[in-house]
Each structure stands twice: as C-alpha cells, then as structure tokens.
Chain A
C-alpha cells in the first residue's frame, strides 16, 4: 500500500543502548522529516532531508544520527539512548510544496 510507515510502533530500551527507528515512504517524495513530540513542547524537528544523501539539522539534533541512502527510507538512530529521549517520534514526507504527510509515530521509552 502507498503511504508512509514507521517501525517499530512501540519500543522500550535501556539507557546507553543504540536504537534505530525506521521510516519508509512510497510516494517518492524528495523531503523527509523526523520530529519528536513531548508534552509542553509540541512537535520539534530533529533532522530533515531534501533528497537522498542530503540531510540537515533541525531544532533538536543532539544525540541523533540520520542517513538517507535511498529516497524512500530515512532511518533515525539514537546512538546512546538517554531518558530524555523518551518521546513519540514522527516521520513525515513531502514534495517541495504541499504535504507533508506523517507516519503513525513510534512511542519510545528509555528506562
């Protein structure tokens, strides 16, 4: 089915572990985004990508790494998870104008 998917939908991990959140879109959108949503902060941009192999930092990039070797995938890695990274993570994709459309989100808990 066409659309944008995220996996896993729920993840519990421990402090210090590496975690990778996956995002896949089937629209061939150029742009992809990662956001985190926390109470009191709304949605904050972590990283975004304008095309394969082009990424840029958002508002809160520290502690996160992204890559985009293929247009359709945009994984987000927490290199050494901390409790402050407990959040709901949303991936989104769009063309230059219009969109963006969001995935269903990943709820991450870091113990």
Chain B
C-alpha cells in the first residue's frame, strides 16, 4: 500500500527566503507520480508541481522545485524567494501510474507561514 509522510506540521519562513517542505513516500509500484498541492485559507486545492518516477531531472515550476531522491524515497518541495501569499497548507501526494492502481494518496500536510 502507498503511504505519504509529511513530518512537519508547521513551518515558518521569512519573506524572500527559501524553504523546504519534506515529503517521504512508500510504494512498491514501479512507476508513479509525485505531486504537491497548495491549499490557501480560501480552501481550493491548487496543483503546483509534478514529478514522474522515471524523470531524470527534478521538476521545476517557477519558484517551486521538487527535490526528488528516488533511492531515499523523498520528494521535498523547495519554494524559493518566499512571498506572503505562499502562506498556506501544502500537501504532498503520490499516485501509481499503473493501470488498475491509480489511487492518489495524500500526506497530512504542512502549514507554511511566511513572516514579513
């Protein structure tokens, strides 16, 4: 069974600094995708970044990058140059990319607070 672990219930960062949100996962599937979502206080789930398990390079999307270490089964999110608007809950998720086993499973989230 898949499992996602986010060990940081809350994180604080100063505006304009970088922050890393941790995520480890466990799966026996040979092919899978890793995702990060942002949930601001307004409640919507915003897709941030995707990393495929066979991708050679770490994914990047603007100020977001995913530090993928397959051997360690970690998929940490790095936010560079934090902004006040980055304050939100962040969820790591994983999904096998194998037909018949496509459930997307979430971690419990990390609450990020960006201080001015």
Binding site for B on A (CB under 8 A): 31, 33, 35, 41-45, 48, 50, 56, 58, 88, 90, 92, 94, 96-102, 104-105
Contacts and interface: CB of A to CB of B under 8 A. Distances in A.
Contact of A98 (B33, B44, B105, B106): B33
B31 to A, nearest CB: 9
A96 B107 contact: no
Contacts of A105: 43-45
Contact of B102 (A35, A44, A50, A101): A50
B50 interface: yes
Interface of B: 33, 35, 37, 43-47, 50, 52, 91, 95, 97, 99-100, 102-109
Nearest to A50: B102
Question: Is chain A's interface secondary structure helix, strand, loop, or mixed overall?
Answer: strand
Contacts of B106: 35, 42-44
B91 A42 contact: yes
A88 B52 CA distance: 29
B30 to A, nearest CB: 14
Most buried by A among B95, B102, B103: B102
Most buried by B among A44, A97, A101, A104: A97
A97 B32 CA distance: 8
